[in-house]
Structure 1
Amino acid sequence: MAINTLDNVTGALSSLGDVSKTAVTMKSAHTCALCILRFLQIPIGPVYLTQALDTINRALGIESSEPSVNGSTHCPVCLGILDMALVDKVVGQFKEQEYDASSAAVTVELPKSVYVRHHSMQLYLKGTNLTPATGVATDLKDVIRYMVCQVLSKHGVETDADSDMRIEIGFGHEESANEHQFLFDRENSSVKTKTFRKRGVHYTTGDSKTAVISELSKCSDSEFTSLFASPPPAIERPAEIASLVLKRSPIFIGGRYLKLERNISQTPFFVGERRVTELSIADVVGEPIKALVRCDSYNLVGSGREDADVRMLGDGRPFYLECTNPRSTTITPNQIQAIEDQLRAIKSPVQVRLLQMIRPEDTAIIREGEEHKTKHYCALVWFASPLSQDKIAEINAIGKQGVLLQQKTPIRVLHRRAPLTRERRLLGLELVPLEGHFYRLRLESEAGTYIKEFVHGDLGRTAPSLAHMAGVTADIIELDVENVSLDFPPAPADGEHKTIDTC
C-alpha cells in the first residue's frame, strides 16, 4: 500500500499493525504528528502541510497541544521546528523585503542536538521492535524546506536550487545547545574539541554537524543510552530562527562617467575620520542606482582612476557598479536613462553615459583592459623660463617617436604603494605654447603612467621627464583626461558618443 496521500496515511495509522504501533509509541513520547510521519517514512508531500495535521492528529488520537508530563507541548524530536508559525515567519520576512524574484533556493541549518535526539528516538523505537525504526526517516531538513517552498509558491516564488535568490534558515535551541558534547567527551572519541573565550563569549571548535553524525555512528546503542535519554527528554521552549539570511546574486550596471569639475574623488576619500572631498563619483552615481534596485550596498569599479583634482572629459571613464543583494532586478532601459537625464537636468558636475545593465562576465573587460588600454591627456604646464621654438620642436619630435619612461613609485603615494620601478611608454606627445611661461601639453600614454611626475620629474624618480627634456624646471598646473580607449560598455544603438572638450 502506498502511504503518500492523506487518506492513505490516516487509513494506515488505523489499520496497519506496526505502523499504528509506531505512531502510538511515538505519541506516548509526545512527538509531533509531522515527526511521526517522518519516522513512518512517509514521502514528502501535501500530508506535511498544516491542513493535514488535524486529520492526522485525530487518527493518532492526539489532542491539539497535548502536554507532556512536565507540561511541555513542544516536540522533543524536532524541537518544535516543524511549526507552521516558523514557516510563516520566514515567508513573512521574505515578503517584507519585496524581492521581485520568481524563484528561490532554500537551505536549512539545524541545531546539532536535533541529530542526537533523532538518534535517541530511533533507538527507542528499535527497543520496542518496531520495524520502521530500521528504515531511514524522512529528513527533517527536507520537510521544513518543503513546507517553506510550498508557502512561497502561493506567492509566485518557485523552488530552484540554481536560483540567484537564496533563503538561508538557521535554527537555534539554546536549551539543548550542548547536548551533543557527551559524544566528544567519550574516552574513545576520535574528535577533539576546543573551547575558548573571546570578548566574553565562549566558543567551541571541532564540534561540527559532520563530527556529531560521525560520532553517533561510532557510538554503540548501549553506550548511547547510558549517556543520553531514550526517548529524547521534553523541552521547555521550542527552537527559534537563529538566523535568516535573504541574499541575491549581485547585479552589475556599467557605463562611463564624466567629471566636469575638480576636487571630486572616484570613491569617498578619507584621511583618518576626516572626509577630504565633498563629492565622489560613487556617491553621485551609486545612490540613485541603489534607490532604483533597492540593494544593500554598492561598489564602484573604474577602469583606473584619476586624481581628485583631475577632470575626466571626452567619452568618460568606463566603470561598473556592483549592487549587492538587489530587491529589484527587472530594471528597464527607461528607468536607467532617467538617472542620466536627472543628472543632466540638475547640471551635476558628474555625468554618466551609456548606463546599462551588464552581465557579470562583462566586468572582466574592466580588469583585463588595465593591461592594454591607453589614455589621452591634456595638461596646462608651466616652465621656469620660456622655451625656444627649437626646443619645442625638439620635444615634439621626441614625442612623435614615443618615449619609454622609468618611473619609481611617486613620493606622493609612497606611503600606500610598494616602492617599485615601473616601465611605461608615452605613445605620443605634443607641446603647444600659450602665453609667457605656460604651455598646453597633449599626450597619449599606456595605462598606469604617472603624468604629473612625468612633467616635473618627481626629484629624478621619473626619467626622462618633460623638465629634463626642456632643461628647465617644469610643473603641472591642471590636468584633464580626454579619453580612455576601452570599448566598454557596448555603444548605444545610434552609435553616437557625445564628447566634452574644455581643455
Structure 2
Amino acid sequence: MADDSVTMPVVNDCDPAVAVVDDVTDEMKLLGMAVKELPAHAVKDLMTQEVCVRCIFRLFNVQEGIYALVSPTTLYSLIGKATQVEAMETRSSEETEDMKILHSSQELKKSSVCSVCLGALQFSYCDERDVLVEKDHAEDFARTVAESVKEKCHEIASFSLEVSLPTVITENEEVVVSFMKKKYASEVWFQEKFSSAHISVKDALKLSITHPLEVLLDVKCGVSDFRIRLTYEHLGATSAENKVGENQCNKRLKSGAEVSSFHIGEGNGLIKCSNGTTQSGDISDLNCQLRKVGQPCRMTLLCSRTPIYIGGRYLKFSRNVSQTRWIIDDERKGEASVEELIGGNILPMCNGDGYKFHAAGREDIDVRMLGSGRPFLIEIQNARHVPSEMSIKEMEKKINSMESNLVRVKHLKVLGIQGWSLMHEGEAEKQKQYAALVWISRPIKEDDLQTISSFQDLKVVQRTPVRVLHRRSPLEREKIIHWMKIEEIAGSSQYFLLHLCTQAGTYIKEFVHGDLGRTHPSIGSILGCRAEILQLDVTDVKMDILNE
C-alpha cells in the first residue's frame, strides 16, 4: 500500500535553506494536528457539496496558511488519515461511514470546481483564451503571475496586489455558513472553530501568493505605484437567492402550486419562503441553495503603474506652433505642437502606453513663450521604465538639439503627484508677464506713459472673448493687472512695447483692444483711442514649481 504521509526534502546541515525547511516542517505538523480536530461528519457534508479542502480549512479557521502551499493530494491525504484515526478511536459506525465517504470521494473532489471559491483557492482558472489552467499550489500559481509580469517588461521596486472576485462567491459562502449554523450550532466544535469570523476567499488568496511573489519578483509587497490585479469573473454565475427562486418556481409550476420566493434567514440560518413557511435545513437544502458551476472562473491579469510625471519648463520660439495638437476637419493647424515635440520624445524613454500633456496655462499659436519658460508636466501612463536622473538629462539635450529649434526645455525632472497639484493650482492662481507690440490710432504722449504705469492691481472685467465663444462658456471673469509700463520704440510715434504682469487666465489681446467693449477697462479705453496688438510674447510665468 502506498504511503500517503507528507514527506519533506532532505537537506544537508550546512545548507542555508535548513531553517526554511524546518519552518515548513513545523507548520505541516501544526496543520496535521489542526486537521485531526476537524469533525469528520461536518467535513463530509462540505465535501459532498464540492467545497474544496482549502475552503474547508478556511471555514474552520485553520490558521496554518501552509495549506495553500501544499498540493491537494497531500491535503486530502491529511484529511483521510485524520478521519480514519477518529473513526478507529470512536469505533462509531456513523464515523466509519463518514470516513469511507471521504476516501471514496477524494479523487472526485480534487478535480471538481469548488462550489464556494469557484476554483480561486484551487488555483484553477480559465485564461483569456478560455483555456483551463490548473496549478497544484500557491507557488505554481505565483510563478505564472510572476512570469506574466516579467513578460510585460516592467521594472518594479515594489508591488501591490489586488484581487476582484464575483459576488456569487460571497453568496455561496453565506449559504454554506447558514447551513452549518442550522445543523451544528449546538455542537462544541462549532462554537470553538466555526462560529467566529473566518478569512475571506479574497484575503486567503492574497495571503497565499504574496510571499511567493515577493521571492519570485525579488521585491516587497506593500503600498506601491505598481499594481498586480487579478480579476475573476464567472459568466454563468447568478445569485443563490435567484437560483432558489428559480428551482422552487419550476417545481411548483410542474405541480400547479402557488409560486413563492425563498431566501436565507439572517438570524437563525433557516431557509424561509415568502409565504412564511420554513424548510428543514438538511443537506438537500444546501444542495438547492448553492450555485454550482461546471468550470472555474475566468481570470485576467493586469499589470499597471500609476502615472509618473516628468516636468520642466518649455520655451516656444515659433509663431506657428500650437501648445497641443490642433487638427480641424483632418487638417493640422500649425507646423507642430509643443505637446508632440516634447511628449513624443519622452514616451519611448519610459516605454509607456501613452501620455498626456499638462501646462500652467496656455498661449495662442501665434504667441511665443520666452524668458523663464512655462511649467509643464508630461503624464506617462503605465510606464514600464522609470528613467534615471542621467537619462532625463540626456533627453533634455536631445529635445534641445532638434534641428527645427521650435521648442526648448529646461529643468526636466521626474516629479511626484504633488507636481500635478502645484501645476493645477498655478493654472489660475499665479502671475504671468507679457511683452506686447501695440499700435494705437494716435501718436503716443508723455502723459500716456505716466498714466499706464500708475495703475497697480487694476481690476478688469472680461466677458468670454468673441474669438473663443464657440468653445468656451459665455461667462464674466474678473482679473487683475498687477502692473504695466510702456517702452517707447525709437522712430515710431504710434507703436510701443507694453510690458505687463497679470493674473493667470487674463486675455491679453482683449485687454489691449477691448473686444468690442466686452473687456473693461482696456488699453484703448484708458488712452481714449483705438488700440491693436500686433505681436505678443510670454516672458515669465511665476510659479512655485520648477523655478530657476
- Matching of residues 327-338 of structure 1 within 5 Å: 327-329=384-386, 331-338=387-394
Return the alpha-carbon distance in structure 1 between the equivalents of residues 220 and 265 of structure 2.
35
Hey, what does 2:114 align to over in structure 1?
A: 75
Return the alpha-carbon distance in structure 2 between the equivalents of residues 64 and 438 of structure 1.
100
- Matching of residues 159-308 of structure 1 within 5 Å: 159-160=221-222, 162-181=223-242, 217=266, 220-223=269-272, 225=281, 229=287, 232=290, 234-241=292-299, 244-271=301-328, 274-308=331-365
Aligned AA (1:176): A
Note closer, same or farther for the CA distance 1:183–1:233 as it changes in structure 2 (3 Å cut): closer
Hey, what does 1:97 align to over in structure 2?
A: 152
SS in 2 for 1:36: helix
1:54 paired with 2:109, answer no
CA deviations 1:27-46 (Å, max 9, x no partner) are 34433221222233211522
Aligned AA (2:170): Y
Match for 2:541 among 472, 484, 503?
484
Hey, what does 1:6 align to over in structure 2?
A: 28
Note closer, same or farther for the CA distance 1:261–1:64 as it changes in structure 2 (3 Å cut): farther
What are structure 2's unaligned runs of at least 5 residues? 1-24, 81-102, 126-140, 248-262, 273-278
Aligned AA (2:447): E
Higher relative contact order (CA 8 A, sep 6+): 1
Quote the offset at 1:314 in angstroms. 1.2
Return the alpha-carbon distance in structure 1 between the equivalents of residues 31 and 48 of structure 2.
19
User: How many equivalent pairs are there?
Assistant: 451
Hey, what does 2:463 align to over in structure 1?
A: 408
Q: Assess if the C-alpha contact under 8 Å between 1:257 and 1:351 holds in 2.
A: yes
Match for 2:53 among 2, 25, 33?
33
Return the alpha-carbon distance in structure 2 between the equivalents of residues 108 and 335 of structure 1.
35
- Matching of residues 393-472 of structure 1 within 5 Å: 393-402=446-455, 404=458, 405-415=460-470, 416-425=472-481, 427-433=483-489, 439-447=495-503, 448-468=505-525, 472=529
CA deviations 1:125-182 (Å, max 9, x no partner) are 453666344444442112111223133112123222x333333333222222343436
Q: Assess if the C-alpha contact under 8 Å between 2:65 and 2:208 holds in 1.
A: no
Q: Assess if the C-alpha contact under 8 Å between 2:160 and 2:226 holds in 1.
A: yes
What are structure 1's unaligned runs of at least 5 residues? 187-213, 492-503
Return the alpha-carbon distance in structure 1 between the equivalents of residues 494 and 245 of structure 2.
79
Quote the offset at 1:23 in angstroms. 3.9
Aligned AA (1:163): S
Q: Assess if the C-alpha contact under 8 Å between 2:411 and 2:546 holds in 1.
A: yes
Quote the offset at 1:439 in angstroms. 2.5
Return the alpha-carbon distance in structure 2 between the equivalents of residues 396 and 64 of structure 1.
99
Aligned-residue CA RMSD (Å): 3.6
Q: Assess if the C-alpha contact under 8 Å between 2:487 and 2:498 holds in 1.
A: yes
Aligned AA (1:236): G
Note closer, same or farther for the CA distance 1:308–1:96 as it changes in structure 2 (3 Å cut): same
Q: Assess if the C-alpha contact under 8 Å between 1:267 and 1:281 holds in 2.
A: yes
Quote the offset at 1:228 in angstroms. 5.7
Larger Rg: 2
Return the alpha-carbon distance in structure 1 between the equivalents of residues 246 and 112 of structure 2.
31
Q: Assess if the C-alpha contact under 8 Å between 2:437 and 2:498 holds in 1.
A: no
TM-score (norm 2): 0.72
Quote the offset at 1:233 in angstroms. 6.1
Q: Assess if the C-alpha contact under 8 Å between 2:321 and 2:335 holds in 1.
A: yes
Larger mean Cα displacement after TM superposition, 337-346 or 270-279: 270-279
Hey, what does 2:107 align to over in structure 1?
A: 66
Note closer, same or farther for the CA distance 1:114–1:463 as it changes in structure 2 (3 Å cut): closer
Return the alpha-carbon distance in structure 2 between the equivalents of residues 9 and 338 of structure 1.
57
Hey, what does 2:202 align to over in structure 1?
A: 141
Match for 1:119 among 164, 174, 186?
174
Hey, what does 1:343 align to over in structure 2?
A: 399
Quote the offset at 1:258 in angstroms. 0.4
Quote the offset at 1:336 in angstroms. 0.9
Q: Assess if the C-alpha contact under 8 Å between 1:24 and 1:60 holds in 2.
A: no
CA deviations 1:17-61 (Å, max 9, x no partner) are x44444444334433221222233211522211x44332232335
SS in 2 for 1:261: coil
